[in-house]
Structure 1
């Protein structure tokens, strides 16, 4: 049984995760610069694309490559995405190495474009308004997106809290398990306080925990 963590120990580990493994939302794409992370329609749509891709059980490398290719193709622009054909989307996903799920993925992206245009007037920020800024209401609305299950919603929350502050603090369930394993614990509010209640830092930290898990670097944090 892991010994109980002390607030001081947890704070040191939180700092190490943030500084050594923390990642910007949309890391690895041209949109990752914190200066560009504003609640613009294309940024929110990019985060939805990111969540849909990352929720599938494929390698970390392939998800990163696929997201990068989707952004390079301009699919985070609802006008561009809306004008694509199923064949277009299939080829772009294939270019990203997203072969196992490319046909279903192409269908889901088409349905996403249709929903965003018809229900949210081309801007997923309108989902935030419809949800009254409340995560539990947004979760219900997000799950109307084809392919957006519980895990995808959690991944979306990890990132979108950086531009929708009312969604902070958010940490996906897989990363919260990692936080517990390395001695930080599972009190999300306590973690948020340690990060000075900064939504952007919370997003970087949540993504950092994902990196720790995916790179199997738990031992680096545990030994502090």
Structure 2
């Protein structure tokens, strides 16, 4: 079994999937991916971010309308149940971001996709206009959304390529992409990020330190 096959077997779950998001090119799952990207933008463990996203959706806050209309205190409490830190500032950012989705994009991020028209720089510019969604969060969104927006394939950012280097894999996004089917690129990107962060993943896959 190749290193990439082992990597996909060991760590090839997208962060959206880990957060319970069945990602499709539809308004609700795309919005939930945006929320997840905001949550993962902060320096928190990925599991805290994915757990907080799952907690929000389970509590009924899975659409921009529901997040905008929720009481600030209820959203803070929901994030707190997931042991997420910085709950107050994050809640404010999520509610302001939900309003922006509704005002700027009519509640449907497929309009953002159309506006970006396949240009990753334009997509990132639109994404970083959301509160508390900086370049790191934009990369997370693009890495994950390439599963359903194929015009952004391959998107293997610095964190993914750092994982590739630690595993002794090519550090050129194009060469890496040639080794998997297009539909697996989001899984590969997530797995490479985990390989960069987690010694155990690299040990299981057999990569170098």
TM-score higher than 0.5: yes
Q: What RMSD, in angstroms, separates the aligned Cα atoms of the two structures?
A: 1.7
CA, structure 1 residues 139+60, in 2 after alignment: closer, same or farther (shift >3 Å)?
A: closer
1:128 is matched with 113
Q: Name stretches of at least 5 consecutive residues in structure 1 with no aligned partner.
A: 1-10
String of CA shifts for 1:155-198, please: whole Å, max 9, x gaps: 111110001111111123222111112111211111111113x1
Equivalent in 14, 18, 29 of residue 24 of structure 1: 14
Which has the bigger relative contact order, CA under 8 A and spacing at least 6?
1
Question: Distance between the aligned counterparts of 2:157 and 2:10, measured in 1?
Answer: 19
Question: Map of 1:107-146 to 2, 5 A cutoff?
Answer: 107-146=92-131
Task: Flag as ranges the 4+ runs of structure 1 deviating above 6 A.
Answer: none
Question: Distance between the aligned counterparts of 2:52 and 2:102, measured in 1?
Answer: 23
2:143 is matched with 158
1:221 is matched with 206
1:45, distance to aligned residue in structure 2 (A): 0.7
**Aligned length in residues:** 206
- Report the secondary structure of 1:194's partner residue: coil
1:13, distance to aligned residue in structure 2 (A): 1.7
Question: Distance between the aligned counterparts of 2:104 and 2:24, measured in 1?
Answer: 22
1:97, distance to aligned residue in structure 2 (A): 0.8
* 1:75 equivalent in alignment to 2:61: yes
String of CA shifts for 1:115-136, please: whole Å, max 9, x gaps: 0000000011111111123211
Question: Distance between the aligned counterparts of 2:52 and 2:154, measured in 1?
Answer: 27
Equivalent in 56, 60, 63 of residue 42 of structure 2: 56
String of CA shifts for 1:91-147, please: whole Å, max 9, x gaps: 111111113x11110110011111000000001111111112321111111110011
1:86 is matched with 72
Question: Distance between the aligned counterparts of 1:132 and 1:121, measured in 2?
Answer: 17
Equivalent in 24, 29, 38 of residue 24 of structure 2: 38
1:19, distance to aligned residue in structure 2 (A): 2.1
2:184 is matched with 201
* 1:149 equivalent in alignment to 2:134: yes
String of CA shifts for 1:4-30, please: whole Å, max 9, x gaps: xxxxxxx92222211221003412343
Question: Distance between the aligned counterparts of 2:9 and 2:35, measured in 1?
Answer: 26
